[in-house]
Amino acid sequence: MKIGSRVLIVDNLKELKDKGNDIVSDMLVYAGQEAIITNIYSEKEAIAPFEINVDNGYWGWYSNMIVEIE
């Protein structure tokens, strides 16, 4: 994945949250939505490296929360 990649936010965000993943309740509204990666941080800069457009880059997203759309 790279900046500009189209991604799908996984439908099972609540399940991931319930299993202890770093997901807050406010992120659950984005489950199943398409988004575009707007920024990628290195692991040294941020724990959750991906920013996406649907939340205006507010939350950090992990690779297990998004799937690239080809």
> In 3D, which of 44, 40, 42 has the Cα closest to residue 66?
40
In a domain, 46, yes or no: yes
How confident is the model at residue 46, as a pLDDT?
A: 67
- Report how many domains make up the chain: 1
How confident is the model at residue 61, as a pLDDT?
A: 95
Q: Is 69 left (phi over 0), alpha (psi -120 to 50) or beta?
A: beta
pLDDT tens-digit map of 36-70: 999 999 877 667 899 999 999 999 999 999 999 98
How confident is the model at residue 44, as a pLDDT?
A: 72
Give the residue numbers spanning the domain of 48: 6-68
Beta strands 34-40; 6-9: pairing state: antiparallel
Query: Would you mind telling me the total number of residues written for the chain in this entry?
Result: 70
In a domain, 33, yes or no: yes
How confident is the model at residue 42, as a pLDDT?
A: 83
Q: What pTM does this model have? A: 0.88
In a domain, 1, yes or no: no
Range 26-42 average pLDDT: 96
